[in-house]
Amino acid sequence: MGAHPSRGKESGEASGGLVLALRHGAAAQLARMAASLERRGTQRHSGIHEARKAARRCRAVLALCTKHGDEATARLDRAVRAACKDLSRLRNAHAVVEIAATRSARLVPRATAKPLRSWLRQRRDRLLAAALDGDPDFQRRRRRIQRAAALCATLDWSGVDGGSVRHALRRSSERLRKAARDAQRRPTLALRHRWRRRLRRLRMQVQMLDAVAQDRAWPRQVRIAARRALAWVHRHAPSPAELTAASDALGRDLDRSLLCAALRREAPPQLWRILPPLLCGRGARALRREFEPTPVSPA
């Protein structure tokens, strides 16, 4: 979880120490988000992806510590969500490049797939260049994250305890079950994407608590408080491995759909000579088999 702030003797109950550890975790993710956007050159694409992951981890922690009427934490959550969403188009453009590199070879000969992958890379780089023209070196975005970090440092979580953390875990688990039921009854892309978000949220909350439980830099009573919260998850929710496997499968579905949408909406005329095998006739059937929803175990 990164370097720890200065910690004297813990006062109050162990749950208060757990909240301190979670606040530190949220702040560390905001710092990681800003640092990821400082990457240059070919590392910018992975930096954008890492920044979005850090934003989601931060929001997962905020959800553990938000109580009814806590407008300051809700405002921070909205700010981090907006910063993450602002990077989504850039991340998606890179994702379709990566998935095309592995998927298109199965559907078209390598010689004809090469122009497709080249066009996707140019599209990705063009979107990134436009974003950097409007926000050189992502300075505006990084300042937004710095303001979020300053807000995080002022949050009053004195009313949060171990019981409210467990209640937040229970809520995440219930929302996951509902999202899974909805997506299985009506497997639209939007509902499957919501299912994935719920899987990812609970998984990140478990991972953050596990990091505290395993980190001997925190006092023993704090680690015990984290283990108590985790014990509820282990009894009532899927395992971290199950959450990860289901989330990854749904993520692959989303990226495949993004690739299909990019091809149908934006492919230039010179690519249509290789796209018909992908989008028509036998090629379309192969595409449907390749990009059909991955079976996912229920929550």
Q: Write down the pLDDT at residue 268.
A: 82
Q: Write down the pLDDT at residue 106.
A: 60
Q: Write down the pLDDT at residue 173.
A: 94
For residue 160, the tally of other CB atoms under 10 A from its CB is 23
| DSSP code for 218 | S
C-alpha 171 chain-centroid distance: 19
Q: Work out the burial of residue 139: count CB atoms within 10 Å of its CB; fewer than 13 is exposed, 13-18 middle, 19 or more buried.
A: exposed
Low-confidence ranges of the chain (pLDDT < 50): 2-3, 5-12, 280-295, 298
Alpha carbon distance 28, 227 (integer Å): 21
Give long-range contacts, CB 8 A cutoff, 24+ apart: 228-231.
Answer: 228/162, 228/166, 229/18, 229/162, 229/165, 229/166, 229/169, 230/206
Report DSSP letters for 14-80, one per residue: HHHHHHHHHHHHHHHHHHHHHHHTT--GGGHHHHHHHHHHHHHHHHHHHHHH--TT-HHHHHHHHHH
Q: Write down the pLDDT at residue 3.
A: 46
Q: Write down the pLDDT at residue 264.
A: 78
Alpha carbon distance 28, 296 (integer Å): 32
Enumerate the domain spans of the chain. Answer: 14-291
Buried b (16+ CB within 10 A) or exposed e, 165-191: bbebbeebbebbeebbebbeeeeeeeb
Alpha carbon distance, N-terminus to C-terminus of the chain: 28
For residue 241, the tally of other CB atoms under 10 A from its CB is 9
What would the pLDDT profile of 229-246 be if each residue is shown by its tens digit? 999 888 888 888 889 888
- How far, in Å, are 35, 58, 81 from residue 53 at the CA level? 13, 9, 11
Alpha carbon distance 276, 271 (integer Å): 9
pTM of the model: 0.85
Q: Write down the pLDDT at residue 292.
A: 45
Q: Work out the burial of residue 233: count CB atoms within 10 Å of its CB; fewer than 13 is exposed, 13-18 middle, 19 or more buried.
A: buried
Does residue 84 contact residue 68 with C-beta atoms inside 8 Å?
no
Alpha carbon distance 1, 256 (integer Å): 32
Does residue 116 contact residue 154 with C-beta atoms inside 8 Å?
no
Q: Write down the pLDDT at residue 111.
A: 65
| DSSP code for 272 | T
Give 14-291's CATH code, choosing from 1.40.20, 3.30.160, 1.10.3470, 2.60.40. Answer: 1.40.20
- φ, ψ of residue 121 in degrees (nearest 5): -65, -40
Cα Rg of the chain, angstroms: 22
Does residue 22 contact residue 59 with C-beta atoms inside 8 Å?
no
Number of residues that make up the chain: 299
